[in-house]
Structure 1
Amino acid sequence: MDNTAFPPHFLDSLANEPGFDRQNFVDAHHTSEQITSIRLNPFKISATKTDQQVPWCTNGFYLTARPSFTFDPLFHAGAYYVQEASSMFIDHVMKTIRTDMAEPVKVLDLCAAPGGKSTLLNSALQSSDLLVANEIIKTRVPILTDNLNRWGTSNVIVTNNDPRDFKSINSFFDIVLVDAPCSGSGMFRKDPAAMNEWSEGNVNLCHQRQERILADVYPALKENGHLIYSTCSYSHQENEDILDWLCSEFDLESVRIPINNDWGIVESQSDQQKAWGYRFYPGKVKGEGLFAACLRKKVSSGGISNYKNNGQQKLPAKEIDIIKTYINNADDFYLFKVNDDWLAINREHKESLNMLHRHLYIKKSGVRIGKLAGKDLIPDHELAQSLIVNKDAVLSTPLNHEQAIQYLRRDDIDINIAGKGWSLMTFEGLALGWAKLLPNRINNYYPKEIRIVSKPPAN
């Protein structure tokens, strides 16, 4: 890639940006080096990776080569997430601002799909904490939901709302992440096609959109709560200028995040308010372009009226007893129904769920357990991949790699059947999904919409 491959005026527009080194930047975009990084799911994988660790993320690792993730059953089991390394900096921000792990927090990821930062946030939380992952664009909600299902936790609610809908839930969240839609210049090396979309006019439009999104969600943040703002853009207008606008228009103060000089991250300050920001340049960091900042809210936006919901869904005790047998520590969960589906969420999140239900369009809440057919449960895929499934209540069928791929493709599985009934199909101890074992065949219940459709590579 040479200078002419960049959009007109792009490099000139960055000439005065903090830490920008034109030649280093161009050279980094010339290289054919492929940087692949993954982040382990701490709830499912405890083994230590031998690859190089991402310095600002405990569970992040660089891989020496890019494998075929599609044909790795551990990927489908939620053992890890393939994420760009710079984006993992949010983990370091979370660890910096979360000083009291004993105090539960409510966290919002406002622009969440496909789910990389949502699973990262979730990894930094405990079951007593609540994550609300919102996606504005309806067609992007399924991939967000699938990725959070794989992660396996029950303290998650997925919503599909415009940022303005959060104005009605004043002072609800302790931490709000706005990974804002942007002009995308930070992804030029990873996705050269993004260069065709870049223009100075688009940067200005993104700046206006970012202001609107932030203004809309601001009331939902609590007093002393933290706003984490990030983009994959290098443009001053979308980064430091936004920080100046936030600090001048709202009661927010900048939070300085400690960084190690060896990491190669450029610390910047906005022109007027001197708000701290963190810039990632390819060539200086082992990752792609990112800007991140953190601010603290100094005032209250008031509370939510009529917060407590005293209504209680009336559910048959006999059905509840059946459902409980499939859940570990079942008394720790609030069980409820949506149409014929049974769901479970950590009991401490019951009131939050009820309140959010009155204000937002909820697409996922906790873990979907399944439907009852008489006294039998037809288990849901969410239950299979969750951390709450009671593995003593169901069969478990271990698969080797070839069998696991057959299962994930919904092909016939070459295996001797042992037992009869619903079985978790597992690979290296992690559940992939359900199958029903019959005397002479296996009914594969892996969801059609997420099955592997391509053929495995030839050996």
Structure 2
Amino acid sequence: MSKALFPPGFIGSLQSEPGFDEQSFVAAHENEASVSIRLNPFKPSDIKKGAQVPWYKEGFHLEKRPSFTFDPLFHAGAYYVQEASSMFIGHIFNYIKPDGEPVKVLDLCAAPGGKSTLLNSLLSNTDLLVANEIIKTRVPILADNLTRWGTANSIVTNNDPRDFTRLKGFFDVILVDAPCSGSGMFRKDAAAMDEWSQANVVLCHQRQQRILADIYPALKEDGYLIYSTCSYSHQENEDVVDWLCTEFEMESINIPVQPDWNITVSRSKEKAAYGYRFYPGKILGEGLFAACLKKTKDSGELSAHKNSGQQKLSAKEIELVKAYINDADNYYYLKVADDWLAIDKHHHESLNILHKHLYIKKSGVRIGKIAGRDLVPDHELALSTIINKDAVLQTPLNYDKAIAYLRKDNLVLNTTEKGWSLMTYEGLALGWAKLLPNRVNNYYPKELRILSAQPV
């Protein structure tokens, strides 16, 4: 991509940005973006990997882009396809996360789920992740990606940032990966070039301030705000961090980086706050800005919440459901309509509080419905890490049959087993099928099935 193919005025706008080198930047955009994946630590697998991402040990570059659609391990949640620069958020979180103390984390602008699954990888069962998406139509892909990740300590919400103002001091860490002018994604998304303009940079700056002002009360005193964009413009980056430090009680945190990572460490004009810039041509990844700030003042406490409408659940049904769960006594069980759900019991009260204030789309793991004396298992249970695999049949599939299953095609299996069975590939679950005497009923969700033609 030559300099002339960038939006008018774009290269000129970057000349004074910290660490910008026009020659290496333009040259990098003449080549395809690198491909990288991040492994799921909860679902170990044998995946061919390339060079490690320097700032994140579970991130790896691939030598070439495979067809992820036709990799059953992708559908099983063994890894997430994420560009390398974004994994720096994990490096920040590892640095600020307190040892041994449960934390509540909010990913405010979470879809499609890359940074949510990244944060979730760094949490224990007693930690809670709330992944929020403002745009309703983007919530399903966020929920699907967290389902594939498999844990029971996440909640998906669909709310405007202002709705979180009521949750005073609730979160220990908030990530705001803010909507931005998108210049850091030019190499991966050519359409972003058509939308870029200096006027749009200004509009994004104003929107970012509004989002951050709305979310500020929900962060507790001594909690951390991680702010990131995929923009190179100082108006959306260092200027926003300066504004946060000026208008609110926040101080900049210096995140250690290695010199050979080639990350540009910037300092904001007014407050000398630390920022971290990623430029294609200097790093093997896309454009990113990130900063971390600590809140130094209390915004007040969340009012006490009493849940007087606690569900009365059938003890027999609970015992039936618990048979499908590993360490079943470690979970809180609830029903939404006819569906049974499980979430780590440490998050029972948090779930009640969030239910009062937010629109919840997914909580923990959906286990299934009870029909008579049997459980009709849900796809979320199949992909979860909490399922008791000793309680269910498992049917291993080779590659061709796994793809047929993921297409929701008819399966012909050489088995005498009957009943609900996990369909697995290389030891990881793909979903459910029901084995009958003369056929196999494929219960892979139709909205997730592979529709495209397999590459030759």
Letter aligned with residue 259 of structure 1: V
Return the letter of the residue paired with 1:208. Answer: Q
- Which of the residues 362, 369, 384 maps onto 2:360? 362
Does the aligned pair in 2 maintain the 1:49–1:61 contact within 8 Å?
Answer: no
1:194 offset after TM fit, Å? 1.1
How big is each residue's C-alpha offset from its partner over 1:116-144, in whole Å with a ceiling of 9 and x where there is no partner? 00000000100000000000000000000
CA contact (8 A) 2:45 2:78 kept: no
Name the counterpart of 2:4. Answer: 4
How much has 1:180 moved relative to structure 2? Answer: 0.2
Aligned to 1:62: 61
TM norm structure 2: 0.99
- Match of 2:454, SS state, is coil
Question: 2-side partners of 1:209 and 1:290: how far apart?
Answer: 18
DSSP-derived class of the 2:235 partner: helix
Quote the residue 1:133 is aligned against.
Answer: 131
TM-superposed CA distance for 1:311, in Å, is 4.5
Partners of 2:268 and 2:68 lie apart in 1 by 40
Identity rate, percent: 71
- The AA in structure 2 aligned to 1:233 is S
Rounded Cα–Cα distance in structure 1 between residues aligned with 2:46 and 2:306? 43
In 2: Cα distance, 1:317 partner to 1:220 partner:
37
**Distance in structure 2 (CA, Å) of the matches to 1:140 and 1:50:** 30
Deviations 1:129-179 (A, max 9, x none): 000000000000000000000000000000000000000000000000000
How do 1:440-455 residues align onto structure 2 when only pairs under 5 Å count?
Answer: 440-455=438-453
Question: In the aligned structure 1, how far is the partner of 2:421 from the partner of 2:299?
Answer: 50
Displacement after TM superposition at 1:34 (Å): 3.9
Aligned residues: 456
**Equivalent in 398, 409, 412 of residue 410 of structure 2:** 412
2:387 — aligned with what? 389
Distance 1:244 1:308 in 2: 40
Q: Which position in structure 2 is the counterpart of 1:336?
A: 334
Shift of 1:418: 3.2
Which amino acid in structure 1 is aligned with residue 432 of structure 2? W
CA distance in 2, matches of 1:167, 1:206: 21
Residues 279 and 292 in structure 1, CA contact (< 8 A), matched pair in contact too: yes
Deviations 1:172-231 (A, max 9, x none): 000000000000000011112211100000000000000000000000000000000000
> What is the alpha-carbon distance in structure 2 between the residues aligned to residue 23 and residue 308 of structure 1?
61
| Per-residue deviation, 1:455 | 2.2
Q: 1:370–1:379: 8 Å Cα contact kept in structure 2? A: yes
Q: Does 1:225 align with 2:220?
A: no
Q: Deviations over 1:306-338 (max 9, x none)?
A: 234355310011111111111111110000101
Contact kept, 8 Å, 2:222 with 2:294, in 1: the verdict is: yes
Contact 1:308–1:351, Cα closer than 8 Å, also in 2: no
Q: Give 1:10 shift.
A: 0.7
Q: Secondary structure at the match of 1:183?
A: coil
Give 1:51 deviation, angstroms: 1.5
Partner of 2:73: 74
Q: Which residues of 2 match residues 115-194 of structure 1 at below 5 A?
A: 115-194=113-192
For the residue of structure 2 that corresponds to 1:392, the secondary structure is helix
1:192-207 superposed matches below 5 A: 192-207=190-205
What aligned pairs does 1:298-317 form with structure 2 within 5 A after superposition?
298-309=296-307, 311-317=309-315
Take 2:131 and 2:144, find their aligned partners in 1: how far apart are those partners?
12
Alignment correspondent of 2:27 = 27
Amino acid of the structure 2 residue aligned with 1:204: V
**Matched position secondary structure for 1:236:** coil
Opposite residue 181 of structure 1, the aligned amino acid is: P
Distance in structure 2 (CA, Å) of the matches to 1:366 and 1:441:
33
Q: Distance in 2 between matches of 1:190 and 1:456?
A: 23
In structure 1, the partner of 2:208 is: 210
| C-alpha contact 2:33 2:187 (8 A) present in aligned 1 | no
C-alpha displacement of 1:49: 5.7
The aligned counterpart of 1:263 is 261
CA RMSD of aligned residues (A): 1.0
CA distance in 2, matches of 1:282, 1:196: 20
Partner AA of 2:208 in structure 1: Q
Three-state SS of the structure 2 residue aligned to 1:171 is coil
- Judge conservation of contact 1:134–1:161 (CA < 8 Å) in 2: yes
Question: Is the Cα–Cα contact under 8 Å of residues 404 and 427 in structure 1 kept in the other structure?
Answer: yes
CA offset digits 1:321-360 (Å, max 9, x no partner): 1111111111100001011100000001000000100000
TM-score, scaled to structure 1? 0.98
Q: Gaps spanning 5+ residues in structure 1: where?
A: none
- Does the CA-based 8 Å contact 2:116-2:131 persist in structure 1? yes
2:56 touches 2:90 (CA, 8 Å); kept in 1?
yes
2:182/2:196 contact within 8 Å kept: yes
| Matched-pair contact (CA < 8 Å) for 1:60–1:88 | yes
Unaligned 5+ runs, structure 2: none
Letter in 1 for 2:15: A
Inter-partner Cα distance in structure 2 for 1:12 and 1:410: 51
Contact 2:125/2:344, CA 8 A, preserved across alignment: yes
Structure 2 counterpart of 1:236, from 231, 234, 237: 234
Distance in structure 2 (CA, Å) of the matches to 1:308 and 1:129 = 22
**1:213 and 1:279 mapped to 2: Cα distance?**
21
2:429 counterpart letter in structure 1 = A
Distance 1:311 1:277 in 2: 46
Contact kept in structure 2, 1:164 and 1:213, CA below 8 Å: yes
Query: CA–CA distance in 2 between the matches of 1:186 and 1:404?
Result: 36
Match of 2:347 in 1: 349
Amino acid of the structure 1 residue aligned with 2:74: F
